[in-house]
Structure 1
Amino acid sequence: MKFSCDKQFLCEAIVNVSKAVASNSTIPALEGIKVKVTPNQVELTGYNLEIGITTTLMAITEGEGEFVIDSRIFSEMTRKMSDDVIVFELNENMTVAISSGNTQCSITAMSAEEYPELPKVDTETAIKIPQGTLKSMISNTKYAVSTAEVKPIFTGELFDIENGSFSMVAMDGFRLAIRNESIAYTEKSYFVVPRKTLSELSSLIRDNDGERECNIYVNPKNVIFDINGYLIISRLLEGEFHNYKISIPSEYKTEIILNTKDFITSMERCSLLIDSKNKAPVKCTFENGEAHVECKTPLGEINDILPASVTGEPVTIGFNNKFALDALRASECDRIKIQLNGGMKVIKMLPVEGEDFIFLLMPIQLR
């Protein structure tokens, strides 16, 4: 079995597929990339039993077959080849001979017999969404995904789709992030995708791919994202996701509109006085067209006054500086709207116009 293909395309494919290769597995084959050769094409697959990434390259081929090769050596050796075209030949003793220009080498391969099959998902019906929109939704909400395994369902993001409305939801028990979009898909679909899968998916979306579509296929256990010539296959998280809609306040007593950049800068100044040994809430008072931002720790004290539009009752509330900064940075808007119901109830952030995103975070009790 023999094949040759373009070095640049191959190197890029190896790097992307390697993201799903297992780093330490009881199945040795999963620590490598599976290479499958069929007429005129080569398929590369990385898989760690939770997420798989596969892609197909055009190639000049002789014969058919498959093998598994160490992902690190495969990547480095391919990248350091001297010519633009690389030739691979699998010998009977499971050695892969590699040649490019005046360079020749060989790498020991493994049989693909022990390489598990990727999960199958029906690809007849697709949920379609522009790649740029999907990447933006992930970017706006990923900060609120839980990193604790106490509740595994919260280590992923909910895809809540119904009647042409798509909400991506993340929460960790202290904060909640929702991004809303309209799509053409009208059926109901409700599933939770692991954080790692969404991170790898986002990394495969390039800046100039914004208008290209991502096709999503899902069944009760697995999801496939078809994007830019790659299939990302992932298990879904099991369990019951919190009914996030009941957590969203429908009314408010105070509404504040602030310049987002100014509020971020003020929070960053406060953060200079806060560390693991010196913890304190950021105290914010909203009244009379101003936001008074204060923080005091053994390291020092800061007082800021920012212009703000304040409607309703004056209020003083405590922010967790990190949670506030995560939400403000994720908003990606010039001005932010904050709605409050007193100093001890949930903080709601949203855009000045519409509800493309809704961020909720719990306040910190002030002494």
Structure 2
Amino acid sequence: MKITCTKNDLLKGVNTVMKAVPSKTTMPILECILIDASSGMIKFTANDMELGIETIVEGTIWEKGIVALEAKLFSEIIRKLPENDVIISSDEKNNTQIICEKAKFSIMGKEGEDFSYLPFVEKDYKITVSQFTLKEVIRQTIFSIAPNDSNKMMTGELFEIHENELRVVSLDGHRISIRKIELKSEYGDKKVIVPGKTLTEVSKILSGGTEDMVDIYFTDNHIVFEFDQTVVVSRLIEGNYFRVNQMLSNDYETKVTINKKEFLDCIDRATLLVKEGDKRPIILNIAEGVMELKISSQIGSMDEVIDISLEGKDIKIGFNPKFLIDALRVIDDEMIDIYYMNPKAPCFIRDEEQSYIYLILPVNFVDA
């Protein structure tokens, strides 16, 4: 095999597929990036058996061939080469040379045929959304998945399609995030649970353009994202997702309309007094058209008042400030509506169309 590519094109390809190289594995071949120049185009592939990424790299093929190179080493070599054309060549024993200007590396590759290719996926069920929309939906929900595997369902997000609507749901036991987007066509009902890791990595690769589209294919076991000459294939999480609709309610005793930035800035200031790992609640005292926010810790205390529009009863309720901050940061509206039932029931932050819903459980606090 012998190919020539610019350093920038190589680096873009490497950075795209590196997201599917496992950090630990018992199969050394999976620690490699496959360079496949056997079919008239240069393809880079990485696959950790849960997530696989393949991307086409611009360049010239002088001799067709295929080789697998240790991903971390290959990535570092490309990163540190001069800004110029790079020649990569390998012989029948997979001895590989990487040449750029006066720099010449010789490394040992592995047999390309031993590599685990991306699984073949039937492309019967497809939706198309803009890269901007998908990137935003992931940003606005991914923060409330569970970080560990104690409950596998909580480490993924529900993608639910009904008619012309895609609903994306994440939860971690303390909060729920829901985003709904309108699709351009109507589809048959579909429900799948997509690993949070997959969505995080897809979001990093997406350019985020409003005119650039992503084709998303669903099967019983896999989800496929196709965009910008790149294919991402991921296994789905098996099982039935939580009955989220039973956790949602439109009932409320108190409705607050508040300036989002003021509310977020105030909570942000309050958390200056809370050390990491110190679970101090922020207490909201809502009455007579104002919201009083209080927090106290071993460092000190803070008290601030924000003007609000109040409908319904007064209420005093406590929350983990981080959960409020996470939700507020991803809402783009200037003014937001927050609905409360009682100090023991979750609050809901949602817009009138319910295109976004954030449910946050309150915490107990000692009333000073």
TM-score when scaled to structure 2? 0.94
d(CA) in 2 for partners of 1:185, 1:85: 47
Q: Could you give the per-residue CA deviations for residues 88-109 of structure 1, whole angstroms, max 9, x where no partner exists?
A: 2211222112223333332110
Deviation at 1:39, TM superposition (A): 4.2
Q: 1:269/1:37 Cα in 2 relative to 1: closer, same or farther (>3 Å)?
A: same
Deviations 1:325-358 (A, max 9, x none): 111112232122100112111110013x422200
Partner of 1:190: 191
Measured in 2, the distance between the counterparts of 1:22 and 1:149 equals: 17
- 2:201 alignment partner in structure 1: 200
More deviation in 113-122 or 134-143? 113-122
Cα distance between partner residues in 1 of 2:92 and 2:161 = 51
- Structure-2 change in CA distance of 1:277 and 1:144 (3 Å): closer
1:185 is displaced (CA, Å) by 4.1
Q: Which residue of 2 aligns with 1:322?
A: 322
Structure-2 separation of matches of 1:100 and 1:298: 58
User: Could you tell me how far apart the structure 2 residues matched to 1:284 and 1:6 are?
Assistant: 57
1:254-269 maps to which residues of 2 (within 5 A)? 254-269=254-269
Residues 206-249 of structure 1, C-alpha deviation per residue, up to 9 Å, x if partnerless?
A: 24x22211100111111110121111111111122101111111
Partner of 1:88: 88
Per the alignment, residue 7 of structure 2 pairs with: 7
Structure 2 SS opposite 1:210: coil
Give, in whole Å, the separation in 2 of the partners of 1:8 and 1:276: 40
Q: What does 1:18-29 align with in structure 2 at a 5 Å threshold?
A: 18-29=18-29
Matched with 1:114 is 114
Q: Matched residue pairs, number? A: 365
Q: 1:308 to 1:125 in 2, by over 3 A?
A: same
Residue 83 of structure 1 deviates from its aligned partner by 5.9
Structure 1 residue 113, shift from structure 2 partner: 3.1
Q: How does 1:99-178 map to 2 (within 5 A)?
A: 99-178=99-178
The one-character-per-residue Cα deviations of 1:58-78 (angstroms, maximum 9, x if unpaired) are 432244332110112212222
Report how far residue 277 of structure 1 moved. 6.9
Q: Check if 1:355 corresponds to 2:354.
A: yes
SS in 1 for 2:78: helix
Contact 1:83 1:101 in 2 (8 A): no
Greater shift in the superposed pair: 24-33 or 73-82: 73-82
- Give the direction of change, closer, same or farther, for the CA distance of 1:322–1:81 in structure 2 (3 Å limit): closer
Distance 1:82 1:363 in 2: 55
**Who is 2:365 aligned against?**
366
Name whichever of 272-281 and 334-343 sits farther off: 272-281
- 1:239 and 2:239 are equivalent in the alignment: yes
Pairing of 1:338-349 with structure 2 (within 5 A) = 338-349=338-349
Determine the C-alpha separation between the residues in 2 that align with 1:281 and 1:78: 48
How far apart, in 2, do the equivalents of 1:87 and 1:128 lie?
37
* Residue matched to 1:37: 37
Following TM superposition, where does structure 1 have runs of at least 4 consecutive aligned residues deviating by more than 4 angstroms? none
1:64/1:318 Cα in 2 relative to 1: closer, same or farther (>3 Å)?
same
| TM-score (norm: length of structure 1) | 0.95
**Kept in 2: contact 1:40–1:58 (CA 8 A):** no
Whether the 8 Å contact between 1:47 and 1:53 is mirrored in structure 2 is: yes
Partners of 1:185 and 1:2 in 2: how far apart?
47
Secondary structure at 1:263's aligned position in 2? Answer: helix
The root-mean-square deviation of aligned C-alpha atoms, in Å, is: 1.7
Q: Which amino acid aligns with 2:345?
A: K
Letter in 1 for 2:158: L
Give 1:22 deviation, angstroms: 1.6
1:215 match: secondary structure: strand
**Aligned equivalents of 1:60 and 1:276: distance in 2?**
52
Q: Retained in 2: the 8 A contact 1:40–1:60?
A: no
The question of whether the paired residues in 1 share the 8 Å contact of 2:177 and 2:356 is answered with yes
Unaligned runs of 5+ in 2: none
Partners of 1:252 and 1:132 in 2: CA distance: 34
Distance across 1 between alignment mates of 2:39 and 2:102: 27
Percent identity, please.
27
Structure 1 gap segments, 5+ residues each: none
Using the alignment, how far apart are the partners of 2:213 and 2:329 within structure 1? 26
Partner amino acid, structure 1, of 2:200: S
